[in-house]
Chains A and B, each alone.
Chain A
Amino acid sequence: DAKTTQPPSMDCAEGRAANLPCNHSTISGNEYVYWYRQIHSQGPQYIIHGLKNNETNEMASLIITEDRKSSTLILPHATLRDTAVYYCIVRHILTGGGNKLTFGTGTQLKVEL
């Protein structure tokens, strides 16, 4: 399974953009990059995913480099409620069907006033 590397923690001022990096240098051509976040005592929440192109939704933007070896999640205007652990995951397709998310330890984002 492709592994991901994220910084353990980041700080961001409220109202500013939060840019969370992720390295996934062993990603295969058909593997998607997924981002989830987990607020304390809750289940992981889906944010966004992408394959090759940059993606944007109501929560965030995902920038994937051309060689697909790294990506950046952008929260354009971070709020205190965005304080959470953010997981970057390369989704692995199982041989027998199905798909597998392998979570690392993620990045603890702290948004402060």
Chain B
Amino acid sequence: EAGVAQSPRYKIIEKRQSVAFWCNPISGHATLYWYQQILGQGPKLLIQFQNNGVVDDSQLPKDRFSAERLKGVDSTLKIQPAKLEDSAVYLCASSLRGTGGEETQYFGPGTRLLVL
């Protein structure tokens, strides 16, 4: 079974530029998550999709971050404009249903962003 795919793996941009990350979840997984992991910290949830609808985006900085999952499969996370403090690893995860009970999230390798 193929895992969660993410691209690019690395990205270097200058502050105030825009950047986009792509994620393809495990086939058949209805729920998709984007996390931000700053160096030395654990991942922090930014947004959660159930199919193509947003379940939780309470920690997404909406003035500069946006995400979409138009067809309920793959997803794009965008930062516009980027700030120095956005330097981090952006992780995508997916789970089968995302509802209660025993629901395991599986993570991709992440995209490492450096903002100069």
Contact = CB atoms under 8 A, between A and B. Distances in A.
A97 B43 contact: no
A10 interface: no
Contacts of B103: 91, 99
A44 B45 contact: no
A45 interface: yes
Contact of B102 (A49, A96, A102): A49
B91 to A, nearest CB: 5
A43 B109 contact: yes
B17 interface: no
B91 A100 contact: no
B114 to A, nearest CB: 14
A: interface residue count bin? 20 to 34
Contact of A43 (B56, B95, B107): B107
Nearest to A105: B42
A96 B109 CA distance: 28
Contacts, number: 66
Contacts of B91: 43-44
B108 A49 contact: no
Looking at A97, A99, A105, the one whose CB has the most chain B CB atoms below 10 A away is: A99
A43 B99 contact: no
Given A96-B56, A97-B55, A105-B41, A30 B105 contact: no
B100 A44 contact: no
Contact of B43 (A30, A32, A98, A103): A103
Given A98-B55, A106-B42, A46 B106 contact: yes
A52 to B, nearest CB: 12
Interface of B: 4, 31, 40-45, 48, 50, 55-56, 91, 93, 95, 98-100, 102-110, 112
The 10 closest A-B pairs by CB, nearest first: A103-B42, A43-B107, A98-B55, A98-B98, A44-B107, A93-B100, A103-B43, A43-B109, A43-B110, A43-B108
Interface of A: 30, 32, 34, 36, 41-46, 49, 87, 91, 93-94, 96-106
